[in-house]
Amino acid sequence: MPKKYHVNVQNTPLDFGYLYKFRIIRGENCINCGKCTKVCIYEAHQRSEKDPRIMADPNTEVCRNCFRCIQECPRGALEKSLFSEFTNSGGEYWTPDVLLTLWKQAETGSVPVSGAGYRGPFTGKGFDSMWTDMSEIVRPTRDGIHGREYISTSVDLGRKLSHLAFKSENNLVSKLENLVTLSVPVVFDISEYNLAAEVKEAIVKAAIELDTCVIIPVDEVIKDFEKYIKNIIPRMSFAEIDNNVEIIKQTRLVSVDYSEDITGDFSSVKEKISKLGDIVTIVRVPAVNTVSDIVSKLAANGAEVIHVVADYRGSGICDSTGSDGRYIKDIIRDVHAELLNNKIRDEVTIMTSGGIALAEHVAKAMLCGADLTGIDIPLLIALGARIYEGSENSLVMPQELDKIPLSTAMQRIVNLIGTWHSQILEVMGAMGIRDIRRLRGETGRAMFFEEIDKETFGKIFNRNKQ
């Protein structure tokens, strides 16, 4: 039996702080009774080390927002308020809560306790308008979550055959295509970010530990990275292939930017790459309005893996035709449906990235039709980056980034993906699915707010005619 996939997480704090949501303030009417030290299981309240007769300032960093100390203080001396630094971070998509969640996941390798529960709306934009089916939640399939049954999260990248052809019995004539199998349905994509070589190295080493790969621009694949080359996907344009054959020869996967030339003539790209070894080519396509047509043509012309890339908030990319304002969830559903209509869906691998901010987004993107996802910004948040949404993505890396030891940076990324892996197992276990490949395109396992809204209120408000 093959070794079960397991992520080794361990608590890995950094020497500098991040965002904190609440500030707890102890008022002057505190009588130092010490009751709050007993009720807070996270030890946010302690007596002063210098003078145990009085209370020390509350330790806001460990507070999990349960409100118990505030409710139980006999003098009503405790008060909680939001940090303005917290509320001013992020934006509508990368909310401050998302940033803090990712940071804590990277620190502890476990899903953070939120204490007061979820009090927000139950629908929203993008992936937030989608709910997953948890109908199997009380059934024995949950055994998988606790390790009694194995749930596989492995995915395959490459072209698959629609059928096998035999000349005679036991005489296979079909040529089997190259496939690369990864143990998790995520690939790291840092090709859009200008990172120091040490940070890239930490991310690559985490990818090796997790049995996945990292997309890096080919001109950033320096000599020192050659030892990691099997887990690096060099990204390049079609024109750059000839100048980088020595790097390509050593890899398992290569990412080539989409251009109109290669849509109709993908066979010449494939021929060029296949001469260099058993290498799978990923074509990177921006999620423009016409992306479904582009993907269909590429698939029909033999593309192996097609990577559909949305912007950092999961919206379609604006080109000369503008943007129709769709989110990646809807774009991938259309791409998947188009390939199904063309009876070619099972032959090609679809990867998507842009706006994958949480573990649930991985599962939801797959339910919409992706085989796997690429992640970018969460890796940087794990290392202390903050994002401020505006017209442009403004990512602020911490000043102390260079001082983070390589092993610490690597472990924090392993922790982040370990947490996501646990959450994906939870989703799959609750659905009764034991192989993540079966999640792809299973829209019957999901509910979409837009569809329910139309079904429920469409007749009343005449929306069915739209």
- Decide: is 31 part of the binding site for ligand SF4 (CB under 6 A): yes
CB 346 within 8 A of CB 438: no
CB 189 within 8 A of CB 220: no
Q: What tokens appear for 236 in the block?
A: 């390049």
Shortest distance in whole angstroms from residue 45 CB to ligand SF4: 6
- Decide: is 64 part of the binding site for ligand SF4 (CB under 6 A): yes
- Quick one: which of 30, 208, 276, 358 contacts ligand SF4 (CB under 6 A)? 30
Shortest distance in whole angstroms from residue 44 CB to ligand SF4: 3
Contact pattern for ligand SF4 over residues 5 through 24, marking x by CB under 6 A: -------------------x
- Decide: is 359 part of the binding site for ligand SF4 (CB under 6 A): no
Q: Please identify, using beta-carbon distances, which residue of 65 and 342 lies nearer to ligand SF4.
A: 65
Shortest distance in whole angstroms from residue 50 CB to ligand SF4: 16
CB 279 within 8 A of CB 253: yes
Q: Please identify, using beta-carbon distances, which residue of 20 and 449 lies nearer to ligand SF4.
A: 20
- Decide: is 75 part of the binding site for ligand SF4 (CB under 6 A): yes
For residue 456, the tally of other CB atoms under 10 A from its CB is 11
Shortest distance in whole angstroms from residue 57 CB to ligand SF4: 11
Q: Interacting stretch for ligand SF4, rule CB under 6 A, among 66-74, 154-162, 179-187, 376-384?
A: 66-74
Q: Please identify, using beta-carbon distances, which residue of 43 and 242 lies nearer to ligand SF4.
A: 43
Spell out the residues 6+ positions from residue 314 whose beta carbon is closer than 8 angstroms to its own.
Answer: 93, 126, 127, 327, 328, 329, 354, 355, 356, 357, 361
- Quick one: which of 55, 309, 335, 356 contacts ligand SF4 (CB under 6 A)? 55
Q: Please identify, using beta-carbon distances, which residue of 63 and 363 lies nearer to ligand SF4.
A: 63
Shortest distance in whole angstroms from residue 72 CB to ligand SF4: 7
Q: Interacting stretch for ligand SF4, rule CB under 6 A, among 59-67, 205-213, 287-295, 325-333?
A: 59-67
- Decide: is 44 part of the binding site for ligand SF4 (CB under 6 A): yes
CB 454 within 8 A of CB 464: yes
Buried b (16+ CB within 10 A) or exposed e, 288-310: bbebbebbbbbbbbbbbbbbbbb
Q: Please identify, using beta-carbon distances, which residue of 22 and 420 lies nearer to ligand SF4.
A: 22
Residue 409 CA, distance from chain mean position: 18
CA distances (Å), origin 27, targets 79, 81, 419, 431: 8, 13, 37, 48
Q: Label each residue of 336-365 as H, E or C.
A: HHHHHHCCCHHHCEEEEECCCCCHHHHHHH
CB 97 within 8 A of CB 87: no
What gap in Å lies between CA 257 and CA 239, rounded to an integer? 10
Q: Please identify, using beta-carbon distances, which residue of 69 and 401 lies nearer to ligand SF4.
A: 69
Spell out the residues 6+ positions from residue 163 whose beta carbon is closer than 8 angstroms to its own.
Answer: 174
- Quick one: which of 9, 36, 186, 382 contacts ligand SF4 (CB under 6 A)? 36
Strands 179-182 and 130-132: unpaired
Of 384, 453, 346, 388, the C-alpha closest to 13 is 384
DSSP bridge pairs for 217: 235
- Decide: is 32 part of the binding site for ligand SF4 (CB under 6 A): yes
Contact pattern for ligand SF4 over residues 76 through 115, marking x by CB under 6 A: -xx-------------------------------------
- Quick one: which of 7, 9, 14, 66 contacts ligand SF4 (CB under 6 A)? 66
Check residue 96 and report its DSSP letter.
H
- Quick one: which of 73, 151, 269, 377 contacts ligand SF4 (CB under 6 A)? 73
Site size toward ligand SF4 (CB under 6 A) is 26
- Quick one: which of 5, 42, 238, 449 contacts ligand SF4 (CB under 6 A)? 42
Give the interface with ligand SF4 as residue ranges (CB under 6 A): 24, 26, 30-36, 39-40, 42, 44, 55, 63-69, 73-75, 77-78
